[in-house]
Structure 1
Amino acid sequence: MADRGLFDMHCHIVPLVDDGAQSVKEAFAMLQMEYEQDVRKIIVTPHFRREMFETSPEIVKKHFLVLRRLAEKIGPDLKVFLGCEFHANVEMLEYLHADRVYSMAGSRYVLTEFSASTEEKYIRDRIYELLSSGYKPIVAHIERYKCMKDIELVEYLVNKGAYMQVNADSVIGKNGHGVKKYCGKLLEDELVQFIGSDCHGSKRRVTRIGDAYAYVSKKFGCQAADEIFIDNPQEILDNAKHCLSL
């Protein structure tokens, strides 16, 4: 275990708000699994996607507060923060400015999701809009997008200021050898800034953050693993504190 504990910055543990935890009991079990994986700080990211997941921010916050109390029961060192996995649309900025969706823990970071078949131009346009408005887009599970198999596109977006996230299961090979190889190439080229569990349940799509941390540490070194699983997510919380002080 890393001395400071690990982060999970992409997960669906808030109960009864999307296709993640379907009960308070399951949410508690998922938190316990995170703790057993050496996770000590969690940014929970309920889906927001028009015509699919449109739970109001008020209800999300209400259920999040229940989750926070559950975390306190597991251990005083387990901290949870509220974020959102925002499926990209052309009105993203309007939604963010109107507080219809949450950013990551109140920071300028936005976990941004696309569909698997999304074209390159659409991704570029949405990321450009967020960057131009002072947001820090984190592109969620980039291993899922066909156009992002082009490493040059990933490099381009990173050079423009976007951040890349892959899922823990993809890194350790749970989603197939080809996906594992792709994630390995990204890690080797230092194009991954975040790894999240994207866990959705206690029996399906479970968290394997600790397993992924151990793998990255062995394959790419402890410094690289600490940056991805601790330092970079901490930057989100530090940015949130800065935003509050403005």
Structure 2
Amino acid sequence: MPKEGIYDVHCHIIPGVDDGASDYEETKRLLQMEYNQGVRGIIATPHFRFQMFETPIEHIKEQFVLAQRAAAEISNDLEVYLGCEFHVNMEMTEMLKAGKVSTMAGSRYVLTEFSENSEVSYIRERIYALLSNGYKPVIAHIERYEATRLDLNFVEELDDMGACMQINADSIIGKEGFFIKRFCIKLMKYDLVQFVGSDCHNMYDRISRVGEAYSYVKKKMGETYANNLFIENPQKILKDAKRRKER
């Protein structure tokens, strides 16, 4: 594992705000698991989805302080940043501009989720809406959507538009099945992946395996490629956030 540590850009470790960590103790256990796997930077991404996850941003920020406290108790070199897994809707750009949901660590990057059966035209239009308003969409677990899984050309189109692709650690190492793993390998070989996230939710059936995924990608694609996905690209998010803050 690299000395500087790897990053997890998609996880549900803030206590009591979505279907992720239920309380402070579970948050701390998840963070300890991440730390043990070599993770030193985490973007916590609680869900926002109409009629399912609509936790007010004020409460999320209050609970996020608890995640920061838990991280500090584990180690002073474990950093946690606030983001959101934003399920797309027709009001999303207005919500982002109003600060009702968080971008990734305060950057232009937005972790963007679709329904698994979303149509190509809807995905294309909503990604364009984010890009045209100055945001940088990171499409969450790109391997889950039928529209992208069945058409690599569409993934390439999204990449050409300026979107980024994120895949889940479990998908890379085969926990979601052989065909999903094979698709993830194909995405990496065609250089159509920019980020990996654990998408961890709890200490039972949805744990973090981001360290295991890093080791697999390093073995399969080489250390330079693995460091790009797990370190350098996440650092671009943080650098972008810093530039925006300094304006």
Correspondence for 2:79: 79
1:33 offset after TM fit, Å? 0.4
- Name the amino acid aligned to 2:13: I
1:24 offset after TM fit, Å? 0.8
Using structure 1 for the length normalisation, give the TM-score. 0.99
Correspondence for 1:152: 153
* 1:167 aligns to 2:168 (yes or no): yes
Residue 216 of structure 1 aligns to a residue in which SS?
helix
* Runs of 4+ with >2 A deviation: none
Correspondence for 1:53: 53
Residue 191 of structure 2 aligns to a residue in which SS?
coil
Correspondence for 1:30: 30
| In 1, Cα distance between equivalents of 2:20 and 2:82 | 15
Correspondence for 2:199: 198
Residue 238 of structure 1 aligns to a residue in which SS?
helix
- Name the amino acid aligned to 1:202: M
- Name the amino acid aligned to 1:124: R
| In 2, Cα distance between equivalents of 1:53 and 1:126 | 20
CA deviations on 1:197-242 (whole Å, 9 max, x unpaired) are 0000012210001100000000000000000000000000000000
1:245 offset after TM fit, Å? 1.2
Correspondence for 1:234: 235
| In 1, Cα distance between equivalents of 2:87 and 2:215 | 30
Correspondence for 2:44: 44
Correspondence for 1:185: 186
Residue 42 of structure 2 aligns to a residue in which SS?
strand
RMSD: 0.5
Correspondence for 2:68: 68
Count residues in correspondence.
246
CA deviations on 1:139-183 (whole Å, 9 max, x unpaired) are 000111000021000000111110000000000000000000000
Correspondence for 2:222: 221
1:58 offset after TM fit, Å? 0.4
Using structure 2 for the length normalisation, give the TM-score. 0.99
1:21 offset after TM fit, Å? 0.3
Correspondence for 2:135: 135
* 1:21 aligns to 2:6 (yes or no): no
Correspondence for 1:116: 116
> Which runs of 5 or more residues in structure 1 are unaligned?
none
